[in-house]
């Protein structure tokens, strides 16, 4: 039997055999539609994040570490964009095709283009949808404005007020959308019925026409809102909104378009590419947090970048002290809330409470100053009647007597001519709930017994000015303006007459107060006799320069910008203070009446990235005017820097309760009497200290002023700033990096001063 012999195969080389084997292998597996959707949206979100991070860092262009701030901002926004893209990419396959972003845009473009040919039913539905949407947007604008105003009046936190108002607006928007569905159907049928009855109206219901009209109406509504809510609009930081849009729009539109091409990319390559991008983003974010100056810029000069960093830190703050060990938070012990950057370091206990790397040491105490052999009365004969006028949010540099060119304070300027004028007086804090109690106590805010709320309630254990004077025989009366002066907050201690003027939160800043408060005080004086044996102490607090800056009839105006309207409010206050002083000058006891005029804090207009007050300790926030008229003493301008904690000791001296008197003032006062300066003498130079203790909406801050050198510590970025007020009164050039030795010297002095304060922790 013959067998067939197969033909011999030609020999092939190993290289050719490898090529054949390679061709025989199956192609690498593609990502597929789900992975394509996920990575497509992630890539688009990261692209939007890079753009958003660059835009958000524009405010740090003048920062000494602007490059690192930009790098860190882009890194954090890229990570945020990737996270948002991952969520959108996972949700996309679950959406009906008709609800995707590209589908909605195409459908809207088809219906709204001028030459679109649409049936009457579709036209009517589109027109009704347009107007309902515009109406809901207008409602959201009103809710945002009203909600922001009410919340900000209660918490003084721009972020919290904005988020709360946005949440309210979104909730109402969701409810409105549920109600609008049947309303839209009924309105569309009604409009269609009307047009069919009157065919001549058909061209008038083209969606393109109503789109133009609707945008015009919406623009007018926004313009009117901006004009009405001028201060709110200028205060809002819209950078987080811009970042959200810069991430969301590319992600939703480009992500859908990328999912098809990316789904065909091999899985390995896609995963490696995205992983490398995420690695570089994390490295960029870490670089932005490494240098102290860059870290400070990232949390102070950016908008959404700051929110991202603080949000990421929050889960790692296990002891709830406001600081974390990671992401540049600086906390060296996340198990102890008393240990964190900016804490008071207890000297010599072996514990580094403020996380600066070493325990604080104190030098030997200086010898006590010699006591004067004779009482230093400076020719005065207390007790005097005492009138204290405090104005809310009045900056020293907006008074004519302190060099302001506008005629904002003609009456107060005349008072200053016959008084001691301090244009370098400093509030102990930058917001009313911490500044005024410190003024009354003659101590710093952190030394007072209080709870931990933003609008703190003060305990009866505090010793305030009015109760000391009342115990000394003074007739006391208070006429403040704001709902915070409800007696339950603890500031009415010692006042026999307490007549606060306030309306409900949200409206308080929309009403004038000076006329009502001054009129009430004048009526009180008319009912109070001029008995030299029974001196009186009267306090007025006038809210008006506080935002909102409202218009007053018969008061000169200076323009329409916020700072112009602020000056207009100051002039309004000056008008009513003038009437009060004229009334008092006609009393028989005028020759024994001391007038003290000052402010609780200042007001910012964007000089350092924020507006209003309570956000920082720059000059615009804490430098206030101080005028003290003492009968028999000539007027003089005093260049010495003083603190408002010096006011209580000064008033005690003028009441005959000072250290030179038989009856002593309370112990533990941080301030010192200003009597030597009032009488034309001098006193030893003292540093100035101001602080913002940690609250529910602010990290701890403090300022230390020696001569013209000013140190500011900002807890949110664990940052130290140094300014030379002689050459840089606007505090625009931080000299901390250029003068490390002076920075270290002032820092040590401030830490040692704080270590001797009797700091009280807020009660729950």
- In CATH, the architecture of 385-683 is 3-Layer(aba) Sandwich (3.40)
What distance in Å separates the CA atoms of residue 605 and residue 411, rounded to the nearest whole number?
25
More confident residue, 339 or 426: 426
Rounded distance, CA 479 to CA 466, Å?
A: 13
Beta carbons of 262 and 31 less than 8 angstroms apart: yes
Tokens at residue 435, please? 């500044």
Contact 375, 660 (CB under 8 A): yes
Q: Which residues lie closer than 8 Å to 136 by C-beta, 6 or more apart? A: 173, 176, 177, 180
CA dist., res. 438 & res. 422, Å (int): 19
Q: Give the residue, 153 or 388, on which the prediction is more confident.
A: 388
Question: Which of 85-89, 180-184, 707-711 shows the lowest mean pLDDT across its residues?
Answer: 180-184
- Work out the average pLDDT over 92-104: 66
* Residue 439: predicted pLDDT: 95
How many CB atoms sit inside 10 A of residue 200's CB?
Answer: 7
**What does the DSSP 8-state code read for residue 458?**
B
State the Cα–Cα distance between residues 289 and 309, nearest whole angstrom: 9
Q: How confident is the model at residue 145 (pLDDT cuts 50, 70, 90)?
A: low
Residue from 676, 644, 641, 681 nearest 658 by CA: 676
Of 542, 559, 552, 506, the closest CA to residue 232 belongs to 506
Calculate mean pLDDT across residues 422-428. Answer: 96
For residues 632-658, give the mean pLDDT.
Answer: 92
Cβ(541)–Cβ(392) below 8 Å: yes
Are 711 and 721 in contact, with CB atoms under 8 Å apart?
yes
Average pLDDT in the 590-618 region?
88
> What are the sequence ranges of the domains in the chain?
27-116+237-316, 338-366+699-764, 385-683
pLDDT of residue 405: 95
What percentage of residues in the chain have a pLDDT greater than 70? 80
The answer, yes or no, to whether residue 106 has pLDDT greater than 80, is: no
CA–CA gap between residue 702 and residue 716 (Å, rounded): 12
Task: Tell me what percent of the residues of the chain surpass a pLDDT of 90.
Answer: 31
Instruction: Find the mean pLDDT for residues 553-580.
Output: 91
Q: Which residues on adjacent β-strands are paired with residue 720?
A: 713
Q: What is the mean pLDDT of the segment spanning 154-182?
A: 66
Averaged over 537-551, what is the pLDDT? 90
pLDDT tens-digit series, residues 438-457: 999 999 999 999 988 878 88
Asked if residue 5 has pLDDT above 80, the reply is: no
Token pair of 43, please? 């890539």
Q: Is residue 321's pLDDT more than 70?
A: yes
Is it the case that residue 259 has pLDDT exceeding 90?
Answer: no
- The pLDDT of residue 75: 85
Please tell me the predicted confidence (pLDDT) of residue 333.
Answer: 83
Q: Report which of residues 11 and 472 the model is more confident about.
A: 472
- The model's pLDDT over 9-22, given as tens digits with 9 standing for 90+, comes to 455 555 554 444 44
Distances from the Cα of 50 to the Cαs of 66, 284, 468, 478, 651, in angstroms? Answer: 16, 11, 61, 56, 58
Confidence band, pLDDT 50/70/90 cuts, at residue 570: very high
- 562: confidence class by pLDDT, cuts 50, 70, 90: confident
Is 70 exceeded by the pLDDT of residue 542?
A: yes
Q: State pTM to two decimals.
A: 0.79
Could you tell me the pLDDT band of residue 507, with boundaries at 50, 70 and 90? confident
Q: Report the pLDDT averaged over residues 575-594.
A: 93
What's the confidence (pLDDT) of residue 162?
65
**347-401 pLDDT per residue, tens:** 888 888 888 888 888 787 777 666 655 556 667 888 999 999 999 999 999 999 9
pLDDT tens-place string over residues 119-136: 777 777 777 777 777 777
The 3-class secondary structure across 82-143, one letter per residue, is: HHHHHHHHHHHHHCCHHHCHHHHHHHHHHHHCCCCCCCHHHHHHHHHHHHHHHHHHHHHHHH
Alpha carbon of 451 to those of 79, 337, 480, 696: distances in Å? 38, 16, 22, 11
Could you tell me the pLDDT band of residue 176, with boundaries at 50, 70 and 90? low
Decide if pLDDT at 222 tops 80.
no
Other Cβ atoms less than 10 A from the Cβ of 755: the count is 18
Q: Are strands 611-612 and 604-605 parallel, antiparallel or unpaired?
A: antiparallel
Greater model confidence, 343 or 507 = 343
The yes-or-no verdict on residue 37 having pLDDT over 70 is yes
| pLDDT interval class at 634 (50, 70, 90) | very high
Specify the range with the lowest mean pLDDT, choosing from 161-165, 207-211, 328-332, 492-496. Answer: 161-165
- Residue that wins the pLDDT comparison between 341 and 131: 341
Give the least confident one: 57-66, 337-346, 591-600: 57-66
pLDDT at 600: 93
Distance CA 665, CA 711 (A): 31
Map residue 387 onto helix, strand or coil. Answer: strand
Query: Is residue 29 pLDDT above 60, yes or no?
Result: no
Report whether pLDDT(205) > 90.
no
Range in 247-256, 343-352, 637-646 with the lowest mean pLDDT = 247-256
Residue 118: predicted pLDDT:
66
Strand partners, 111: none
CB neighbour list of residue 330: distance below 8 Å, 6 or more residues apart: 323, 340, 341, 355, 718
H or E element that contains 385: strand 385-391
Average pLDDT of the residues in 294-304: 76
Q: How far apart are CA 102 and CA 230, in angstroms?
A: 37
Q: Is 349 exposed, middle or buried (0-12, 13-18, 19+ CB in 10 A)?
A: exposed
Burial 417-456 (b: 16+ CB within 10 A, else e): ebbbbbbbbbbbbbbbbbbbbbbbbbbbbbbbbbeeebbb
Mean model confidence pLDDT for the chain = 81
CATH 3.30.1120 at 338-366+699-764, yes or no: yes
Q: What is the pLDDT of residue 1?
A: 44
Task: Check residue 520 and give its pLDDT.
Answer: 93
């Amino acid at each position: 039997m013959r067998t067939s012999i197969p033909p011999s195969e030609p020999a092939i080389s190993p290289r050719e055999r490898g090529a054949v084997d390679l061709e025989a292998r199956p192609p690498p597996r593609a990502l597929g539609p789900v992975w394509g959707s996920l990575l497509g949206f992630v890539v688009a979100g990261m692209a939007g994040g890079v753009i958003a991070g660059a835009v958000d860092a524009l405010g740090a262009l003048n920062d000494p570490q602007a490059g690192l701030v930009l790098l860190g901002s882009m890194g954090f926004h890229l990570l945020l964009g990737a996270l948002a893209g991952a969520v959108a990419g996972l949700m996309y396959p679950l959406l009906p095709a008709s609800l995707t972003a590209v589908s909605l845009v195409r459908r809207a473009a088809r219906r709204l283009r001028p030459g679109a040919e649409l049936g009457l039913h579709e036209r009517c539905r589109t027109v009704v949808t347009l107007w309902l949407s515009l109406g809901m947007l207008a409602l959201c604008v009103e809710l945002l404005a009203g909600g922001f105003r009410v919340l900000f009046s209660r918490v003084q936190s721009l972020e919290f007020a904005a988020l709360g108002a946005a949440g309210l607006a979104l909730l109402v928007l969701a409810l409105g959308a549920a109600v609008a569905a049947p309303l839209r159907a009924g309105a569309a049928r009604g409009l269609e019925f009307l047009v069919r009855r009157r065919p001549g109206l058909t061209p008038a219901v083209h969606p393109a026409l109503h789109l133009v009209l609707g945008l015009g109406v919406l623009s007018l509504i926004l313009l009117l809102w901006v004009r009405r809510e001028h201060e709110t609009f200028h205060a809002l930081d819209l950078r987080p909104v811009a970042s959200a849009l810069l991430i969301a729009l590319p992600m939703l539109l480009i992500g859908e378009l990328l999912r098809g091409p990316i789904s065909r990319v091999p899985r390995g390559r896609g995963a490696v590419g995205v992983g490398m991008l995420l690695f570089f983003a994390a490295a960029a974010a870490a670089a932005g947090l490494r240098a102290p100056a860059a870290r400070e810029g990232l949390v102070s000069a950016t908008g959404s970048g700051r929110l991202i960093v603080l949000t990421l830190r929050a889960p790692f703050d296990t002891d709830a002290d406001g600081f974390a060990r990671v992401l540049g938070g600086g906390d060296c012990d996340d198990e102890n809330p008393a240990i964190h950057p900016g804490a008071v370091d207890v000297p010599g206990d072996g514990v580094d409470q403020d996380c600066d790397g070493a325990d604080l040491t104190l030098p030997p105490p200086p010898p006590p100053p010699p006591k004067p052999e004779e009482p230093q009365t400076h020719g005065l004969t207390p007790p005097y009647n005492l009138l204290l006028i405090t104005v809310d949010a009045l900056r020293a540099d907006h008074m004519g007597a302190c060099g302001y060119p506008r005629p904002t304070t003609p009456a107060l300027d005349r008072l200053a001519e016959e008084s001691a004028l301090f244009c370098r007086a400093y509030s102990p804090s930058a917001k009313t709930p911490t500044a005024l109690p410190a003024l009354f106590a003659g101590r710093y805010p952190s030394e007072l017994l209080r709870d931990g709320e933003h609008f703190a309630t003060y305990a009866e254990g505090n010793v305030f000015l009015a109760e000391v004077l009342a115990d000394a025989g003074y007739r006391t009366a208070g006429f403040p303006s704001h709902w915070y002066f409800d007696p339950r907050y603890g500031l009415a201690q010692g006042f026999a007459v307490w007549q606060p003027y306030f309306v409900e939160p949200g409206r308080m800043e929309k009403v004038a107060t000076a006329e009502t408060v001054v009129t009430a005080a004048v009526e009180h004086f008319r009912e109070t006799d001029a008995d030299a044996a029974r001196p009186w102490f009267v306090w007025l607090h006038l809210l008006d320069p506080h935002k909102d800056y409202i218009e007053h009839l018969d008061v000169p105006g200076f323009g329409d910008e916020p700072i112009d309207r602020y000056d207009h409010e100051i002039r309004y206050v000056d008008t009513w203070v003038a009437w009060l002083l004229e009334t008092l000058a006609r009393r028989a006891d005028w020759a024994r009446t001391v007038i003290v005029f000052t402010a609780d804090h200042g007001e910012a207009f964007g000089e350092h990235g924020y507006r209003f007050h309570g956000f920082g300790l720059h000059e615009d926030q804490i430098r206030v005017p101080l005028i003290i008229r003492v009968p028999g003493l000539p007027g003089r301008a005093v260049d010495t820097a003083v603190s408002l904690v010096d006011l209580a000791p000064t008033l005690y001296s003028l009441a005959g309760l000072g250290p030179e008197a038989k009856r002593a003032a309370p112990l533990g006062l941080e301030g010192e009497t200003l009597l030597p300066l009032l009488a034309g003498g001098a006193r030893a130079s003292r540093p100035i200290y101001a602080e913002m203790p940690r609250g529910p909406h602010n990290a701890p801050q403090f300022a230390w002023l020696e001569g013209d050198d000013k140190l500011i510590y900002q807890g949110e970025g664990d940052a130290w700033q140094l300014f030379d007020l002689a050459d840089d009164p606007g505090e625009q050039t931080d000299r901390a990096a250029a003068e490390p030795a002076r920075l270290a010297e002032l820092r040590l002095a401030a830490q040692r001063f704080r270590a001797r304060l009797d700091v009280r922790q807020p009660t729950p």
